[in-house]
Structure 1
Amino acid sequence: MTVEIRGEPSDAGSSAPPKRREILNGAITVASILLFVGTGSSVLSTTVRRYFYGGEGPDQTLVIALLLNVALILFGWRRHRELAHEVTIRTAAEERAQMLAAKDPLTGFLNRRSLAEEGAAMFVRAQARNKAMALLMLDLDHFKMVNDMHGHATGDALLQQVALQIAEAMPSVALTARFGGDEFACAFLFDAAHPATVERIAEKLVSQLAQPFRIEGLQLHISVSVGISRSDFDCASIDALMRSADIAMYAAKNSGRNRFAWFDLSMERELQARNELEVGLRNAIPRQEIVPYFEQQIDLTTGRLSGFEVLARWEHATRGLIVPDTFIPIAEETGMIADLSLSLMRQAFLAAKDWDAALSLSVNISPSQLRDAWLAQKIIKVLTETGFPASRLEIEITETALFDNLPLAQSIVGSLKNQGIRLALDDFGTGYSSLAHLRALPFDRIKIDKSFIMSMTENTESAAIVTAITRLGDSLNLPITAEGIEDIAVEERLRGLGCGKGQGYLYGRPTSIANTRRLLAERRLLQNAASEAGEPDERRAG
């Protein structure tokens, strides 16, 4: 590695490097000394003869030459000391630069490149000693929240404490590294026949980092996701080992965090499939391959069709219809969810514009979208451009969407409500502070999560929760919608509890724009068809 060190101001006019100048200065000094010896001996001998025997004194030219030699020797010696000091400073600076290039300045751990270099040497030692090399990749869970809430200084202090915990958990001979942000890596040798040794270290890390950290009077909670790879399992190099551990770490994170996972080849296949979906999704959104499907919402009192919930489906050219559970998480992770959601709304609003005016549309909003201060304006813009009435739109948000920034959510919701858009709290009962949020935001409806509805006939706790929610809605004058109704017995029980609306497979599967339009045409619920027929609307679910 080449490290550029800028010279001191006194060297600004010198083009020769320090070592060359030191040699030149030394040569001049040696020459001066030789001249001093020659002229000095002549002057000294002449002076001694004059002192003892009389005669002429030394030649004035030789005396001047001698004095000049003395001056050159003194100058050379001083310059030699200056250059020696400069070389010492430069050497120390180069060593510091090399150390900074190899180490993370915050924790003192190796950086990524240094781990790759030293890890490669450890990889070779593992093969030579018939050992296996374990590489652990660690990613802190919820660290960003600490940084956002308490500032980077607190975050840095937390990282230093985490580094101490990691170092303490490692064997005596191990490599520890920080890759930047909240990602760490560790490597050490172990007996290939006893992988439990590695698991005990991983378990210790997961357990210790889940404990609260106290920093400047704050109690901070994080956890860690750990991916583990081993050199004797399909890893031919340190680079392959690091990549495998990274894949395993993301698998641990996707499995719920606060855990460790060993790498296996199925993870790589899943990652490849996920990356293919991401690439496809980037092209699918602008092409409007992500299309709206409509799930019926039924008035449980009258049995009439009251509206639809808009659901996303991916009409893939080769894989057919892809359900949202497959691609929505990818859209949220990559930041594509906002464009996807607005595209879906636009298509749904255009499709539903000439439906019966009594039919509403319910649209889900992702938690990440509620971090966008311009969300309300974007939705209103789509409504204006498509001509869909705001009074027929109901926006559904989950409780988890409100945790990050409740004041911003209140501002967005206020703007939407001012336009006549209604607001529903989705998946009620699965969050942590439902009552507080019901008071904080002007909701128009509560939706009971389908997990409670689908199990209420077999599970007494689910039935009790559904009963409590319907009574709460009644006391707050908030209508209730039940999701996931799949049989008549559940429907009758919900009707008896006073639940206002229901949706689920009992009333039919979600359908495409064309099939939904065909359904509405049959029921005379298209505005043109109804006006031309001159017959009363029929909204029975059938």
Structure 2
Amino acid sequence: MTLWPKSRDRSEDARRDVVAGGIVVAGILLFVGTGGSVMQSVVQTLVGIGGGPDKVLSVALILNVALLLFGWRRYEDLNREIRERTEAEQRARYLADTDPLTGFLNRRALLVQGQRLIADATSNGRHVALFLLDLDHFKTVNDIHGHAAGDRVLQVAAERISDVLPPNAAKARLGGDEFVAMLSFEPAARASIDALAAALVTALEDKVAHDSQQIRVGASLGISLATDASMTMETMVRQADIAMYHGKDEGRNRHIWFEQGMEMAVQVRNQIETGIRDGMPRGEFIPYFEPQVDIATGRFVGFEMLMRWESPEYGLIPPERFIPVAEDSGLIGELSLQVIGRAMEIAKGWDPSIVLAVNISPQQLKDPWFSQKLTKLLVETGFPASQLEVEITESSLFENLPLVRSIVTSLKNQGVSLSLDDFGTGYSSLSHLRALPFDRIKIDRSFIAAMRGSPDALAIVVAIVRLGESLAMPITAEGVEDEATAIELTRLGCSKGQGWYYGRAASTDDTARLLADRGLLRTPMLPGSLTPDEEPLRKSA
């Protein structure tokens, strides 16, 4: 049994058309030949001269008429078939070249049409700009609001892009949330390209309405330039992509032109990402510990864990070099939990009064299973939950407060303390303190550093301390750099402080010695003995 009809043989159709055409031509010739004689006999009969038309000729005439009707029908069929075939080919070409969601060109069509645009424009002394536009935080839209909302955001983005760009601009969706636009311009009119790019970024800042929800995304835009026909589409797209990611690194929601130095930065970033992937299984990422001190007494009350990369090739690498890459590449969750687990193993050897504070990346707070993962680490390491303090930056609460509330409530139920980090720099601090069960507030270091020379900064610090008192939330001040600042914070009633005045972030060995000098280790260190973090390494060797 045949499931699909056999495809029509075009050569057979052509042979049929030739036969039909021959029949029609023969019919016309016969009609001309017989029609005259028959009609003459008919006329003579009507005037009483002849005896009527010949029967054979009459039959031939009728057959000729039938042949002519057949030919006309076949002619109409051919015309209809040509129309249908032409429409089908146009539809197939449209589907092959077009993104079905937005109606823009797809990647394949863009590469073909874009190369043609470059050749035509540069031959006439014009330049070509390629915009590569990526929606900021689009993955979060799908994760939080669903894929239907994501599709709606993409459609609205396409509409806004079309509204801003001139009609002759080539517009394409490369896939996901990446869009491309190309247009030619006079070399002296580069400012107009900047204005268009800025207008695109502004247009995409507006919220998108979907099912009574207001969704905000924003966009980062990279621009590459073609000044002669030697530029290929592949190179233009790659350069614009590099510029776009450079813009994301600088803060997102902006446009930026490609420059040659950016390519080197991308290579460095790729090296860092590769190093992270290779270094995690080798245990190259280690915890450092910054002291937290009771300001009034000077007693150690805790340590904030900070991450360092002990690279065999480049030495000790600070977190600002690799944390952003780990976040962008999606590695931060696994990396953070690995180092936190190592810090827990170390902190088990501390006095029970010493708290281990760990900072959580905003990316981790988008993981619905984060609290379970952290709880699993507590169980595996045997570290007491009561000695763990999770620090959450206020800015990370902006995107999905219900999910964060679920995570932090679960952690609180396990006995973990919660601290609101960088207080005062976020979006709606008071509402966050009301909505989430925080135990402590940390004042951002920028206010502490400025309070001695700025009455406004001092007023903010005073207000935060008083707010903490009214909510029964102790205050930790970050960035305490000198004695005068520590004295002023003591006068204001701030309970905890950390910063260079109390000690910089130190390695496991140095931290153990610091605690041993104050009798704050569970087991005193012996000369030449292993530090608490080295013991698990010996067992696994």
Pairwise CA distance, 1:139: 2.9
Q: Matched residues in 2 for 1:304 and 1:474: separation?
A: 21
Match of 2:160 in 1: 162
Aligned equivalent of 1:103, options 74, 87, 98: 98
Whether 1:26 and 2:17 are equivalent positions in the alignment is: yes
| Alignment-derived partner of residue 531 in structure 2 | none
Pairing 1:472–2:467 present: yes
Matched, 1:297 2:292: yes
Moved more, 495-504 or 513-522: 513-522
| SS of corresponding position for 1:508 | coil
Which residue, out of 475, 479, 485, partners 1:484? 479
CA RMSD of aligned residues (A): 3.8
Shift of 1:344: 0.9
Tell me if the contact between 1:26 and 1:80 (Cα under 8 Å) persists in the aligned partners.
Answer: no
Aligned partner (choices 427, 435, 439) of residue 434 of structure 2 = 439
- Specify the alignment match of 1:205 in structure 2: 200
| From 445, 449, 454, the counterpart of 1:450 | 445
CA distance in 2, matches of 1:241, 1:531: 63
TM-superposed deviation, 1:102: 2.3
Of residues 130, 148, 151 in structure 1, which corresponds to 2:149?
A: 151
Q: Secondary structure at the match of 2:481?
A: coil
1:307 is aligned, of 302, 322, 341, to: 302
CA spacing shift, 1:94–1:382, aligned 2, 3 Å = same
Per-residue deviation, residues 472-524 of structure 1 (Å, max 9, x unmatched) = 11111111111111111111111111111111111221111222223223333
* Aligned counterpart for 1:348 among listed residues 343, 347, 372: 343
Cα distance between partner residues in 2 of 1:485 and 1:233: 57
Percent identical residues: 47
Kept in 1, the 8 Å contact 2:161–2:200? The answer is no
CA displacement 1:202-225 (0-9 Å, x = unmatched): 344344554667899987755443
Distance 1:427 1:233 in 2: 50
Q: Which moved further from structure 2: 344-353 or 393-402?
A: 393-402
Q: CA deviation at 1:201?
A: 3.0
Call closer, same or farther: CA 1:322–1:68 in 2, change over 3 Å.
Answer: farther
1:527, CA displacement in angstroms?
A: 1.1
Q: CA deviation at 1:392?
A: 0.7
**Which of residues 75, 87, 93 in structure 2 aligns to 1:92?**
87
Specify the code of the residue in structure 2 equivalent to 1:238: M
1:242 to partner: Cα distance: 2.2
Residues 1:33 and 1:256: Cα distance change in structure 2 (over 3 Å): closer
* Cα deviation 1:189-238 (Å, max 9, x = unaligned): 33335533432333443445546678999877554433222223997323
Shift of 1:70: 8.6
Aligned position for 1:12? 5
Once the two structures are superposed, residues 81-103 of structure 1 have per-residue CA deviations (whole angstroms, 9 ceiling, x without a partner) of: 44542342122111112123223
Matched to 1:421, the amino acid is V
What is the rounded CA distance, in whole Å, between the counterparts of 1:32 and 1:407 in structure 2? Answer: 79
Question: How far, CA to CA, are the matches of 1:220 and 1:386 in structure 2?
Answer: 41
1:125 to 106, 109, 120: 120
Where does residue 511 of structure 1 map in the other structure? 506
Structural mapping, 1:277-292, within 5 Å? 277-292=272-287
Give the whole-Å Cα distance in 2 for the aligned partners of 1:530 and 1:256: 46
Q: CA deviation at 1:407?
A: 2.2
Change (3 A) 1:271 1:233: farther
Alpha-carbon distance, 1:379 to partner: 0.9
1:145–1:527 Cα change, 3 Å: closer
User: CA separation in 2, counterparts of 1:82 and 1:115?
Assistant: 37
CA positional deviation for 1:274? 0.7
**1:204-243 matched pairs, under 5 angstroms:** 204-210=199-205, 223-232=218-227, 236-243=231-238
Deviates more, 1:305-314 or 1:86-95: 86-95
Contact 2:101-2:151 within 8 A present in 1 as well:
no
What are the equivalent positions in structure 2 for 1:62-81 lying under 5 Å apart?
Answer: 78=73, 81=76
Report the alpha carbon displacement of residue 531 of structure 1 after superposing the two structures with TM.
12
The answer to whether the 8 A contact 1:28-1:76 is kept is no
Contact 1:428–1:447, Cα closer than 8 Å, also in 2: yes
Amino acid at match of 1:120: Q
Q: What secondary structure, in the 3-state scheme, does the structure 2 residue paired with 1:527 have?
A: coil
Q: In structure 1, what is the equivalent of residue 245 of structure 2?
A: 250
Cα 1:463–1:399, aligned 2, differ >3 Å: closer, same or farther? same
* Per-residue CA distance 1:451-484 (angstroms, 9 max, x = gap): 1112211122111111111111111111111111
Counterpart CA distance in 2 for 1:371 and 1:286 is 24
Determine if the alignment matches structure 1 residue 380 to structure 2 residue 375.
yes
Three-state SS of the structure 2 residue aligned to 1:256 is coil
The letter of the residue matching 2:17 is G
Distance 2:384 2:61 in 1: 106
Give the corresponding residue for 1:195.
Answer: 190
In the alignment, the residues of structure 1 paired with residue 311 and residue 230 of structure 2 have an alpha-carbon distance, to the nearest angstrom, of: 35
2:187 maps to a residue whose letter is A
Give the direction of change, closer, same or farther, for the CA distance of 1:33–1:297 in structure 2 (3 Å limit). Answer: closer
Q: Tell which deviates more after alignment, 69-78 or 273-282.
A: 69-78
Counterpart AA for 2:402: P
Assess, with a 3 A threshold, how the Cα gap between structure 1 residues 493 and 57 changes in structure 2: closer, same or farther. Answer: closer
| Equivalent-residue separation in structure 2 for 1:122 and 1:226 (angstroms) | 21
Q: 1:165 to 1:53 in 2, by over 3 A?
A: closer
| Structure 1 residues 28-78: Cα deviation after superposition (integer angstroms, max 9, x where no partner) | 335556887999989x999x9xx9999x997xxxx9x99999988866764
SS at match of 1:529: coil
- The residue that corresponds to 1:184 in the other structure is 179
- Asked if the contact 1:36/1:66 (under 8 Å) is kept, the reply is no
Please, which moves more after superposition, 200-209 or 521-530? 200-209
Given that 1:213 and 1:220 are in contact with CA atoms closer than 8 Å, whether structure 2 keeps it comes out as yes
Q: Distance in 1 between matches of 2:96 and 2:8?
A: 27
Cα distance in 2 for residues equivalent to 1:508 and 1:152? 47
Q: 1:75 to 1:157 in 2, by over 3 A?
A: same
The residue aligned with 1:323 is: 318
414-423 or 200-209, which deviates more: 200-209
279-288 or 71-80: bigger deviation: 71-80
> What are structure 1's unaligned runs of at least 5 residues?
1-8, 533-542
Distance, in Å, in 2 between the alignment partners of 1:152 and 1:225 is: 17
Q: CA 1:530–1:182 in 2, change beyond 3 Å: closer, same or farther?
A: closer
Whether the 8 Å CA contact 2:365–2:407 is kept in 1: the answer is yes
